[in-house]
Amino acid sequence: MDYVKLIGEIFLMMGSFSLFIAAIGLLRMPDVYNRVQTGTKASTLGAIMSFVGIGLMAVDHWDETNWIGRVIVLIVFIIITNPVSSHVLMRAAYAMKIPLSKITSVDKLKEDIENKILEEPIDE
């Protein structure tokens, strides 16, 4: 077996495991803010590792198509869009006044709003 394909399979398994952990985290977290954070971090890592694994496993086809370029474009897209989308989801949840969990001890956004650090109100 080719070592590059073996490394690709290892990356694919680690990515799948990370996505599985993200799914468990979505079920176990107490509120929407923790769920979005857990889902974003683990799914970003899992998707990146899975795409790297797929790119390495397709080593036989590197000459036929530009696999590396496609994998890099997908990874960059995920790195850019996942944090932005999670930020927008959390801001929307906060604007809808979805309560934090009782075990959440810090609300930095509330402190920033009270201290007038934000230039615009959150609920607009």
pLDDT tens figures, 18-56? 999 989 988 998 888 888 888 888 889 999 999 999 888
Question: Cβ(67)–Cβ(24) under 8 Å?
Answer: no
- Contact between residue 33 and residue 100 where contact means Cβ atoms under 8 Å apart: yes
Domain count, the chain: 1
On whether residue 86 sits in a domain, the answer given is yes
For residue 122, is it within any domain?
no
pLDDT confidence band for 115 (50 / 70 / 90): confident
What pLDDT is recorded for position 80? Answer: 94
Domain contains 19: yes
Q: How much is the pLDDT for 37?
A: 87
Residue 98 lies in a domain: yes
**Which one has a higher pLDDT value, 61 or 4?**
4
Angle at the Cα of 91 from the Cα atoms of 86 and 94, rounded to 5 degrees: 125
In a domain, 124, yes or no: no
Buried b (16+ CB within 10 A) or exposed e, 76-113: eebeeebeeebeebbeebbeeeeebeeeeeeeebeeee
Name the residue with higher pLDDT: 11 or 121.
Answer: 11
Q: Is residue 121, in this structure, part of any structural domain at all?
A: no
